[in-house]
Amino acid sequence: MKNGIHPDYHPVVFQDAGTGTRFLTRSTVTSDRTTEWEDGNSYPLVVVDVTSESHPFWTGAARVMDTAGRVEKFERRYGRRRP
């Protein structure tokens, strides 16, 4: 690797804004906020909207869809299907 062209890669704590879950990883992102981690060291803190702790795909939480409205719209557009 060439020197001086890569961003600084350092430990960072990410916190989920919805659940409050925090995890320590490495990243190039910077932040003015810091937090104390379990090992006693202070790391930059980055608060994010969605992580695997709150994302519906990973939590299994289903979204409520308006399926009745979709069916009615389809029937209006293409007619009711007869068996």
23-46 pLDDT, tens per residue?
999 999 999 999 999 999 999 999
Ramachandran angles phi, psi of 42, nearest 5°? -105, 130
Question: pTM higher than 0.75, yes or no?
Answer: no
Does residue 50 surpass a pLDDT of 80? yes
Write down the pLDDT at residue 82.
67
Exposed / middle / buried, residue 66 (Cβ in 10 Å: 0-12, 13-18, 19+): exposed
Ramachandran angles phi, psi of 33, nearest 5°? -85, 145
Q: Across all residues in the chain, what is the average pLDDT?
A: 84
Q: What is the share, in percent, of the chain residues with pLDDT greater than 90? A: 43
Instruction: Please name the helix (run of DSSP H) or strand (run of DSSP E) that holds residue 74, with its range, or none.
Output: helix 67-78
